[in-house]
Each structure stands twice: as C-alpha cells, then as structure tokens.
Amino acid sequence: MKYEKEKFRNLKSVGSGRDLADVQLVRCEFNGCTLAQFDDPGFGLVVRDVVAEKVSAKRCVVDGVRFEDVRIDGLTVSSLTHLTGCVFRRVTLRGRIGSLMATSPNFGLPEDVREAFVGGVEQFYAGADPATEWALDITEAEFTEADLYYVPGHLVRRDPATQFLLHRDRLAGVDLSSLPLFAQIAVERFGETPFESIVAVAPRRSPNFAERLAAYEALRAAGVAE
C-alpha cells in the first residue's frame, strides 16, 4: 500500500501481537503519533517491509517496536526522537536524517518488566551473523544528531570515516580523563548498554561535527575505536 503526501495526526497504536507491513510512505507527515507496546519482551509489535521517503515526524512516540527490512531515505524530526527499547534487523537509514537516539527499554516500566525487555533485546541480537542479520545500515546517513548506544556496534554497517566502532574491552589502561569531552561521553555509554561494542557517530549536519570527529579520532588513536 502506498501513501503519498498524507498527514497523520494523533494516531495511536498501542499493544503487541501486530504486524504493520508492506507499506510505502512518500513525503508523509506524522504529528503526535504513538506506536508502542509495554508488556511484550518478545517484541511482537513489528514494522516490516516498509519504505519511507522524505517523511517527517513531530512529537511522536516509538517504544518496544521490532523493525525488520525497513528503508528510510530522508527523515525530518522536530526534536530529538527516542526509539525506546526498539530492536532492528536489516534497517537502512540514508540521506538527510534528523536527530535520533536508540535508547534502553522504558524506565517507566515496572522493574521486573523492564529487566525482561533488556533480556529480550539481548536475546534478539544474540548470535546474529553481521553478513545477513545486520541491525542498521547508516553508511549513507547524514545525521543532525545520532546516539545508537542500544544497538550492538558490530551489527551496524557504517562509514568508518565518520562512524566509529568502539570496543568495551579496549578501555582498560586508557586514561579517559585525557580524552576530549565528546570522546568521554561516548565511552560512558558502555555503562548504559549490555553490548560489547557500540557505534559513535560524528553527525555531518551538526554544528559541532568537526569537534565530534576529532574526539572520536582521538579514541581511534588510543586504540578504543576503529
């Protein structure tokens, strides 16, 4: 099904056990919309086989969603958009992309439920082969801002010139206090993720792109990043 230049306002789809599939979105706008589920650590709320081109999102909530075989080519967001406790398989972001953050499961959940979601995320990615089961491809994405600490770094296809693979086990013996501020912030993300590697992005469309790039190059020089 194809939607072109449609405006979706205040749509709410909450709950698991559903597939949203086989959709093409062209120049569509989402405003105040919610796509979420809060009780299924098996991630039965699925968005798959979707192509989105030059779409925009304002004040939208995305929580506990499994994205599979999705391509987004151009995404405008009004502010930093959190993809809370979401998981990804063969998702491509390219073109001009706004500010995105892939974060841990919702802290508003009961503790036992949140722990189950954390375990569900780990199980989803466990044993994945990067050749066929990669999570994200951001090689052609030009971000305004990006923080992808809740996606395993080795499952992210990236442009090594501006997108750096950080390794937890390489931090030993490194004087983090001697590193630039943005480098310190990047490695501190290991305290918030269960994964042994993460990707730090120097966003090309950010006003502090050069500073971020230099900071992550310092991590590369220190042997923490590649």
Query: Where are the chain's structural domains?
Result: 2-157
Which tens digits make up the pLDDT trace of 84-139? 999 999 999 999 999 999 999 999 999 999 999 999 999 999 988 888 899 999 99
Per-residue pLDDT band at 176 (split at 50, 70, 90)? confident
pLDDT at 200 over 90: yes
Amino acid of residue 134: W
Closest CA to 84 of 99, 69, 58, 62: 62
The C-alpha atoms of residue 86 and residue 46 are separated, in whole angstroms, by: 10
Q: 78-105 burial string, b = 16+ CB within 10 Å, else e?
A: eeebbbbbbbbbbbbbbeebbbbebbbb
Looking at 11-110, list the stretches that DSSP marks H as alpha helix, in order from N- to C-terminal side.
none
Which residues, including other chains, have CB under 8 Å from residue 71's CB and lie 6 or more apart?
A: 50, 51, 52, 91, 92, 94
pLDDT at 46: 98
pLDDT at 131: 85
Which tens digits make up the pLDDT trace of 143-167? 999 999 999 999 999 999 999 999 9
- Which residue bears the tokens 């809060």? 38
- Which residue bears the tokens 């996606």? 151
- Whether residue 38 contacts residue 106, with contact meaning beta carbons closer than 8 Å, is answered with yes
- What's the pTM? 0.95
Please give the average per-residue pLDDT across 210-218, as a whole number: 97
The C-alpha atoms of residue 205 and residue 95 are separated, in whole angstroms, by: 11
pLDDT at 190: 97
Per-residue pLDDT band at 173 (split at 50, 70, 90)? confident
Task: Share the mean pLDDT of the chain.
Answer: 97
Per-residue pLDDT band at 81 (split at 50, 70, 90)? very high
